[in-house]
Amino acid sequence: MGRFFLMVVVLAACGDNASPDDVEPPSLGGFGKPAAEPRYVPAVCAVRAGDPSSSTDISVSVAALGHGATMFAVPNTGGAIDGYLIDPRMNVSAPKTLAISGSFSSASASVVDGRIVSTAIDGSGVRIDLLDADLGNPQYVATLPGTQLAEPSFYYAGNDFVMPIAGNDGLWLHRLADSFEPLDSLQLLATDPVRALAATQLSTALLAAWSTDNDCYMMLTSRLAAGPYRHIAEACAQPRVAADPKTNIGVMVYAGAGGVRMMRFMGQSFDVMPSLVRESSHAPRVVWDGNRFWIGFLDVRGDVIVGFLDDKGEPVTMSLAGPQPDKAGFELAVVNGLPWVVTLDATGYTAHQMCAIVEGTKELALDNPRGQAFESLWP
């Protein structure tokens, strides 16, 4: 293991911001010159780096713990699962090959009630294992049929603890006991073979989004039953979705025609048109940190682009101008209540803590600037 270092820096948006909207001056209700509202931009507030051996052709999954996070890594060509523990200062441990037999094409890390859970895909389906806090002593639970998992894997549909899994015949929902043992299953929608699946918790409902070769679907359900859904006659590759559980405002990003695209919605009113975020880009990510929606993706150069949606729901982004991971070799995750970009590639591990600052200053945006104007502009 090499040395870790922590750099506390504040970097303005490095010329990669989305085109700013014109600021509308406030109405003149009295004397004096009106003051424009401050414009916030993304910045890197801290960096943690290390050098665990890795490769460029790798898939990673990051799940927050109460005291840090855990990360799984699997070669994209298939293989064993390497597990990492990330401490509260975002230092990463040496890799530990999980004692789970098989060759896996992907593995998703989840943390449920403080318990680390591995859900991994091999030739026989989706395997569920429970892990100790040190990533040891895997306890096999079950193998369920399917080829695509959400990130993370477990959600609630009303009072039911559920796991969405997609396969060659569409989307299925599996109801689980508290022990993670499967109780029953239901096919929510029959479609062509699913190539990618995403999900998020929307209040007490599960919102799932999935893509076939030629179509995109979104469905909302609050029980073990099919719910309202939307079909778009184009693929939504590499989908990710996140939501504010208090307002039921959500954001879906995906790789579509021309580059990374985005749809914003509220509740089950997701019959909205997608917009282009960035041309010639791919591998999108989105998270809700309690104040803002943060998005990330890889641009045509392979650089990691990251930022947030402003008060009008428009992306304001910057380039990290450093790591160039594989399309599955990075994650945008909320750890210890903060948004982090975690990458793992041939150069090792890096974690960039993102924050919002007033443009042209070093002032952090510690409050929620979203306000009523932001909500009123969303569907």
User: Over 50: is that where the pLDDT of 222 sits?
Assistant: yes
User: Over 50: is that where the pLDDT of 193 sits?
Assistant: yes
Q: How far apart are CA 166 and CA 115, in angstroms?
A: 24
In whole numbers, what is the pLDDT of the chain averaged over residues?
86
Question: How confident is the model at residue 65, as a pLDDT?
Answer: 94
User: Over 50: is that where the pLDDT of 359 sits?
Assistant: yes
Average the pLDDT over each of 84-98, 106-120, 275-289, 352-366 and give the range with the smallest value: 352-366
Question: How confident is the model at residue 22, as a pLDDT?
Answer: 38
Order of strands across the sheet that contains 106-112: 106-112, 115-122, 125-131, 139-144
Is this model's pTM higher than 0.75 or not?
yes
Question: How confident is the model at residue 66, as a pLDDT?
Answer: 86
Does the CA dihedral 205-249-196-117 come out positive or negative? negative
Domains and CATH numbers, the chain: 5-17+37-376 (2.130.10.10)
pLDDT digits (tens, 9 = 90+) for 106-165: 999 999 999 999 999 999 999 999 999 999 999 999 999 999 999 999 999 999 999 999
